[in-house]
A and B are shown apart, each in its own frame.
Chain A
Amino acid sequence: MVLFTIAEPGQGRARQVIRRKRAVGIDLGTTNSLVAVAKEGKAHVIPDVHERLLLPSVVQYRSDGSLLVGDDAVESTASGTTISSSKRLMGRGLADIDYQVPYQLRQPASGGMVEIVTANGAVSPVQVAADILKTLATRAESALGGELDGVVITVPAYFDEAQRQATRAAARIAGLNVLRLLNEPTAAAVAYGLDQRLQGTLMIYDLGGGTFDVSLMRLHNGVFEVLAIGGNSALGGDDFDRAIVDWLLRQSGRSAPDADTLRQLLRKTRAAKHALTTADSSVVELDDWRGTLTRDTLHGLIDAYIDTTLRACRRVLKDAQLEAADITDVVLVGGSTRTPRVQQKVKEFFGREPLCSIDPDQVVALGAALQADVLAGNKYGDAALLLDVIPLSLGIETMGGLMEKIVPRNSTIPVVRAQEFTTYKDGQTAMSIHVFQGERELCGDNRSLARFELRGIPPMVAGAARIKVTFQVDADGLLQVQAEEVSSGIRSSVVVKPSFGLDEQDIAGMIKASIDSAADDKAKRSLREKQVEAQRHLAALQAALGQDGNSLLTAEERQQLEQAMAKLQQAAAGDDAALIERLTDALNAQSRDYAGRRMDAGIRAALAGQKLDVVGDNL
């Protein structure tokens, strides 16, 4: 083949020694998010200053424009709007949301993606994701000692184009360079394949808070081939919780609760569910009502959801023309696979004990980090190669609103497919190409991605023109569609940005809004440094207080110190670098006396022959 001899791979590439690229993997989860980094085929999750690995995917927006992310938002007692599980809203319109959320939604006048009403105005789910990404990036940058060169962000395999574009937009707003959006189950397989040297045919069963994904993969000598994927982008552990909440409401004879009660109910539900992993029943109290949730009742409430996931597994097997017996290993991913009932039913279905040797909460981020390292060009030995597929069929609308599939789902990418169409009217000089994604026969039931026109077709009788429509999906999963009239050579093309996502103007607006001095990278970096410094001080002080705060400080002194800490904590979550610096200095001044007392205590202890390590490094 002539095609194969044009150039040798690697030819002409510069062979200079360059700085190792700072690339991380981010699992932007429905419930929790993580950031991990890899080196030489080994990955680890980057903790925050409190050694916490998981960042709750929760953001609190407050009326003064400030915001809290993660545990700070979860624990916040201040007033504001707290948003959780907003990943389910990514790339979705109000009409798509057919379940209750503990905050108010609205459809923007311009149509498109749903917005969340907060104490600080309407916020897009993209903005929420961007705020979570920013927090993780800051964490990674302070751990790696500099700005990130690139990130791999994971998304559910079943995310459609609108949801993927929304995720990319969030990354842009957060100022991150996206090397790749990686499917979550694929990332998990990479982690198992590289870390545990697993080989064979793997079924990755990924049940998260809001999404279910299943991927069938073949791992062979460092080549990871996705055979088929399936799932449901609106099914997850949250549904278990909601089913239990509904049951509690029915049992206690309550009607539709307000947002606060709903949140409280969810907390109790999760506690009860957790208790049932070891106990046979759990008592739930709601004001004056008291009921018992048994394990059997729980199974009755959630089995239907689990059965739906198993049917998706069967379909994926069928797509790959394999049987359950062909599977070498079943891998469990996602926090909701900790539910014993899920493990039990998966085991029954596949007739084998599922694997969960890598923490199901971490495995996706670890795999993403490994892939980020490869894509950033940090080469080592035999880097893994991932052969991924597209999750949903791509096609165009033909006469009668029918969907003509051009690239079927589960096609390995990159892929280029062309198909010819023709005109249906005499003298027709233009043709509208409407691109859709989905499996249904009628375009109206699928998701519209883009629309463009091919103009200047030479007038001919109906059916004489030959319009070649070419779909190209690159290794990043980005779709480009081109239409060409073959006889005249006129052509037109579009890089698909789904009409359902945000338009460029929206994104540009958010980027501008999110970074006060948009063009000023220096200011941005200085802000991050100040945030990190503040967090370091807070952590050190917190640790010191835990050791000897009560013995070395009066109750009043301690209270004053803690007030100053809370103030700084709040400021550090915001964008005001000057304020963070001022409060950090103030806290330093205020804690100087305490540091002195600790030093004295340390010296006394040393003189008494005891260890010195109680003296904090930073005090």
Chain B
Amino acid sequence: MPVTDYFAILGVPASSEIDRARLDAQYRSLQAQWHPDRFVTASEAERRQALQQASLINDAYQMLKQPLRRAEHLLELKDTDAAVHQARKLEPAFLLHQLEQREELERLGQRRDQAAFARLRRDTETELQLQWRDFAATVQQQDWCSARLSLQKLQFLHKLQEELDHLEDRWLDTLDN
């Protein structure tokens, strides 16, 4: 089955960087056209179609507004040699560093160490920024092989960031109870 091109659906250029204001405007104008609430007096068939279109537009917007999912989708569309490229392994140094950071996260979670938490968050954000720059450059050069590696690193870093968020949520939750 061919991959749905969400960039085309929302009418924005397929790239790693995106003009957010333009994306938002396109989304709004397409929903203004296709949202089921615009079809309350229409026929059953038209309403069903509106439901499908509006769902698709929502999916596309969800996909494109989040940088990591946008990057994944971009490679899904562009990288025709995905299977080969995905088989390439990340360098051990990166993986080792990830392992250390995860252990650090677990430690500070147990101790409820806010200062160390803030430090780890800052570090992760810096690394993410660097990695995003790297990704954009490889996409620019259409070096899909390096782009895949860069994306894998981004996925690791995002996962770490998510876990930081979860930990913060849990701290907030224990305040609630």
The residue in chain B whose Cβ has the minimal distance to the Cβ of A408 is B62
Known A-B contacts A223-B32, A308-B176, A475-B35; the reply to A7 vs B54 at CB < 8 A is no
Across the interface, which residues of A come within 8 angstroms of B24, CB to CB?
220
Q: Which of A375, A387, A411 has the most CB of B within 10 A?
A: A387
Residue of B nearest to A386 (CB): B37
Interface string of A397-430 (1 = CB under 8 A from B): 0000000000000011111100000000000000
Please name the residue on chain A nearest to B42 by beta carbon.
Answer: A13
- Chain A residues contacting B169 (CB-CB under 8 Å) are 315
- Note all chain B residues with C-beta closer than 8 A to A374: 37
The contact string, 1 if C-beta is below 8 Å from chain B, for chain A 216-244, is: 00001111010000000000000000000
- B interface residues, how many (CB within 8 angstroms): 35
CB-CB < 8 A to B175: which residues of A? 311
- Is A318 in the interface zone, CB < 8 Å from B? yes
Q: Which of B8, B40, B43, B54 contacts A1 (CB 8 A)?
A: B8
Complex Cα–Cα for A12 and B43 (A): 8
Q: Is the beta-carbon distance between A311 and B172 smaller than 8 angstroms?
A: yes
CA distance A92 to B32 in the complex (A): 37
Interface string of B12-32 (1 = CB under 8 A from A): 000000000000100010011
Question: Is there contact, CB below 8 Å, between B49 and A7?
Answer: yes
**Complex: A220 Cα to B53 Cα, angstroms:** 21
Shortest CB-to-CB span from A530 to chain B, Å, is 34
Given contacts A414-B54, A415-B55, are A220 and B28 in contact (CB under 8 A)? yes
Quote the shortest CB–CB distance from B172 to chain A (angstroms). Answer: 6
Q: In the complex, what residue of chain A is closest to B34 when comparing beta carbons?
A: A9
CA A375 – CA B42 in complex, angstroms?
12
B41 within 8 A of A: yes
Give Cα A9–Cα B36 distance, bound, in whole angstroms.
10
- A145 on the B face (CB < 8 A): no
Residues of A within 8 A of B176 (CB): 308, 311
| A414 near B55: Cβ-Cβ < 8 Å | yes
With beta carbons under 8 angstroms apart, the residue of B51, B53, B61 that contacts A4 is B53
Q: Kindly state whether residue B107 has any CB partner on chain A within 8 Å.
A: no
Contact between B41 and A414 (Cβ–Cβ < 8 Å)? no
How far is B28's CA from A475's CA once the two chains are assembled, in angstroms? 16
**Inter-chain contacts of B42 with A (CB < 8 A):** 9-10, 12-13
A253 within 8 A of B: no
Nearest-CB distance from A441 to chain B (Å)? Answer: 11
Partner of A412, one of B39, B40, B61: B61
B39 and chain A: residue at smallest CB distance: A9
Expressed in whole angstroms, the Cα–Cα distance for A415 and B55 within the complex equals 5
Residue of B28, B36, B62, B172 touching A414 (CB-CB under 8 A): B36
Chain B residue at minimal CB-CB distance from A389: B58
In the bound assembly, the distance between CA atoms of A12 and B39 in angstroms comes to: 12
Given contacts A13-B41, A411-B58, A414-B58, contact A3 B53 (CB under 8 A): yes
The verdict on A259 contacting chain B, using a C-beta distance below 8 Å, is no
Asked, given contacts A1-B9, A415-B55, whether A315 binds B37 with beta carbons under 8 Å apart, the answer is no
* Contact residues in A for B39 (Cβ distance below 8 Å): 9
Q: Is B38 an interface residue (CB 8 A)?
A: yes
Chain B contacts of A445 at CB under 8 A? Answer: none
Residues 125-147 of chain B, each 1 if its beta carbon lies under 8 Å from chain A, else 0: 00000000000000000000000
A472 to B41, CA, bound (A): 21
Nearest-CB residue, chain B, relative to A416 = B55
- In the bound complex, residues from chain A placing their C-beta under 8 Å from that of B43 are 12-13
A314 interface residue (CB < 8 Å to B): yes
Give bound CA distance, A1 to B53, whole Å. 11
Name the CB-closest residue of A to B31: A387
**A6 CB → nearest B CB, Å:** 6
Partner pick for B56 among A3, A220, A377, CB 8 A cutoff:
A3
Contact partners of A472 in chain B: CB under 8 A: 51, 55
With a cutoff of 8 Å between Cβ atoms, the chain A residues found around residue B9 in the complex are: 1
Tell me, yes or no, whether B114 is within 8 Å of chain A by CB.
no
Bound-state CA distance A474–B36 (Å) is 8
In the complex the two chains form, is B61's CB within 8 Å of A377's CB?
Answer: no
Whether A9 and B33, one on each chain, are in contact in the complex, defined by CB atoms closer than 8 angstroms, is yes
Contact between A221 and B41, CB atoms less than 8 A apart:
no
B168 and chain A: residue at smallest CB distance: A318
From residue A151, how far is it (CB to closest CB) to chain B in Å?
14
Contact B49 A6 (CB under 8 A): yes
The CA of A6 and the CA of B43, in the complex, are separated in Å by 14
Interface residues of B in 47-75 (CB under 8 A from A): 49-56, 58-59, 61-62
Q: A147: shortest Cβ distance to chain B, in Å?
A: 19
Which of A411, A415, A472 has the most chain B CB within a 10 Å cutoff? A415
- Across the interface, which residues of A come within 8 angstroms of B165, CB to CB? 318
Bound-complex Cα distance A596 to B52 (A): 68
Q: Cβ of B104 < 8 Å from any Cβ of A?
A: no
The verdict on A385 contacting chain B, using a C-beta distance below 8 Å, is yes
Q: Find B37's partner among A11, A13, A314, A475 (CB 8 Å cutoff).
A: A475
Q: How far is the CA of A71 from the CA of B176 in the complex (A)?
A: 36
> Shortest CB–CB separation between residue B57 and chain A, in angstroms?
9
Tell whether B46 is near chain A: CB-to-CB under 8 Å: yes
* Complex Cα gap A411–B35 (Å): 15
B37 touches A415 (CB 8 A): no
Contact: A385 with B55, CB < 8 Å?
no
User: Which chain A residue shows the least CB distance to B28?
Assistant: A223
Q: Which residues in B have their C-beta under 8 angstroms from that of A221?
A: 28
Residue ID in chain A nearest B38 by CB atoms: A9
What is the minimal beta-carbon distance from B11 to any residue of chain A, in angstroms?
A: 9
Minimal Cβ-Cβ distance residue in B for A379: B41
| Given A3-B56, A12-B43: A412 and B62 interface contact (C-beta under 8 Å) | yes
Q: Is the CB of A9 within 8 A of B37?
A: no
Residues from 133 to 169 in B contacting A, C-beta threshold 8 Å: 165, 169
- Tell me the bound Cα distance from A387 to B36 in angstroms: 10
Contact (Cβ within 8 A) B32 A385: yes
Task: Give chain A residues whose Cβ lies under 8 Å from the Cβ of B28.
Answer: 220-221, 223, 225
Residue of B at shortest CB range from A377? B41
Closest to A473 in B: B55
Cβ B36 vs Cβ A385 within 8 A: no
Do B172 and A415 touch across chains, with their CB atoms under 8 A apart?
Answer: no
Which residue of the partner chain A has the closest CB to B5? A1
Closest to A179 in B: B40
B-facing residues in A462-518 (Cβ within 8 Å)? 472, 474-475
Name which residue of chain B comes closest to A314, CB basis.
B172
Inside 8 A of A225's CB, which chain B residues have their CB?
Answer: 28
Residues of B within 8 A of A411 (CB): 58, 62
A5–B53 Cα distance when bound, in Å, is 11
List the A residue with the shortest CB-CB distance to B29.
Answer: A223
Quick one: closest A residue to B61, CB to CB? A412
Chain B: minimal CB distance from A228 (Å): 13
A149-184 at interface with B (beta carbon < 8 Å): none
Complex: A245 Cα to B173 Cα, angstroms: 27
Provide a sorted-by-A list of 11 A–B residue pairs whose CB atoms are within 8 angstroms: A3-B52, A4-B53, A9-B33, A9-B34, A9-B38, A9-B39, A222-B32, A308-B176, A414-B54, A472-B55, A474-B36
Besides the known contacts A1-B8, A3-B52, A12-B43, 9 further A-B residue pairs in the complex with CB atoms under 8 A apart:
A12-B46, A225-B28, A377-B41, A385-B31, A385-B35, A387-B35, A414-B51, A415-B59, A416-B59
Binding site for B on A (CB under 8 A): 1, 3-4, 6-7, 9-13, 220-223, 225, 308, 311, 314-315, 318, 374-377, 385-387, 411-416, 472, 474-475
